[in-house]
Structure 1
Amino acid sequence: MRILTLDHLVLTVASIDRTLAFYRDVLGMRAESFEGERWALHFGTQKFNLHEAGHEFEPKAAHPAPGTVDLCLIAATPLEEVMATLAEHGVPLIEGPVTRTGARGEIRSVYVRDPDDNLVEIANYPEREAS
């Protein structure tokens, strides 16, 4: 077997509306309703499907709960602009900028929390910052 990429991840959230507002309005993801009552957040070639706690769709994780995820998102936007956007929206930095190791090597990252207290790392690879 050879896995190529992540297609989607399910985030269990306390409030679909608050989650949409953060990921759409602050992080710039595209929100989309599908199958009537379901919501997803698209970015690049991936998406987050959203499940509201207590109203999850089957099948689901064994113990779905808001605030249990630690994500790293690679931004096309330079990190300094990311930090400015976060500040404009009143989103406090938890840490950063700091150097970390991503899937393809060294990255520069900042950390924030989403409305459910999930840890969201937003990072650039060095080649992004050089452009």
Structure 2
Amino acid sequence: MIVGIDHFVLTVASLEATCAFYQRVLGFERIDTPGRPTALAFGGQKINVHEISRTFEPKAKAPTPGSGDFCLITERPLDEIRARLEANGVVLELGPVERIGARGPMMSVYFRDPDGNLVEVSQYLR
């Protein structure tokens, strides 16, 4: 019935700080459309970004900056991801560590964005 995720929403303290972080650190594309939430696009998905003072309806019952915890998949070597994090002053919180994802075993690194959301970047083991 369900085949994937199109987007999810992050509620943030600062739209500008969050977008700059994901653009710089992970290479996301920022999309601004009048009357719509700002989006950060990557692959075939996106993250809609709601600033806490400017949310869009409908929304989560109690949107809060820093409450996100999600995993992103990469095809790049994790050493490359780690180097990019380090070059951008992002502290690696954990990893690489082995995890089990939706499609099987993977190696993951964890870090936090400007709001404290936990971001996991993973590469499936072949």
TM-score exceeds 0.5: yes
1:76-91 counterparts in 2 under 5 A? 76-91=75-90
Cα shift readout 1:51-80 (whole Å, capped 9, x = no counterpart): 000210111100001000101000121100
Percent identity reads: 52
User: Normalising by the residue count of structure 1, what TM-score does the alignment of the two structures yield?
Assistant: 0.93
- Asked if the contact 2:15–2:51 (Cα under 8 Å) also holds between the matched residues in 1, the reply is yes
SS in 1 for 2:56: coil
- Asked if the contact 2:78–2:123 (Cα under 8 Å) also holds between the matched residues in 1, the reply is yes
Code of the aligned partner of 2:7:
H
Please list every run of 5 or more consecutive structure 1 residues that lacks an aligned counterpart in the other structure.
none
Cα shift readout 1:67-121 (whole Å, capped 9, x = no counterpart): 0010100012110000000000010000000000111000100000000000000
Cα shift readout 1:26-57 (whole Å, capped 9, x = no counterpart): 11111110125631000111000010002101
Distance of 1:105 and 1:126 partners within structure 2: 8
Runs of 4+ in 1 over 4 A off after TM superposition: none
User: Normalising by the residue count of structure 2, what TM-score does the alignment of the two structures yield?
Assistant: 0.96
CA apart distance, 1:126: 1.5
Structure 1 residue 118 and structure 2 residue 122: aligned? no
Question: Corresponding residue for 1:92?
Answer: 91
Count residues with an aligned counterpart.
126
Code of the aligned partner of 1:93:
L
Please list every run of 5 or more consecutive structure 2 residues that lacks an aligned counterpart in the other structure.
none
Question: Corresponding residue for 2:70?
Answer: 71
RMSD: 1.0
Code of the aligned partner of 1:40:
A
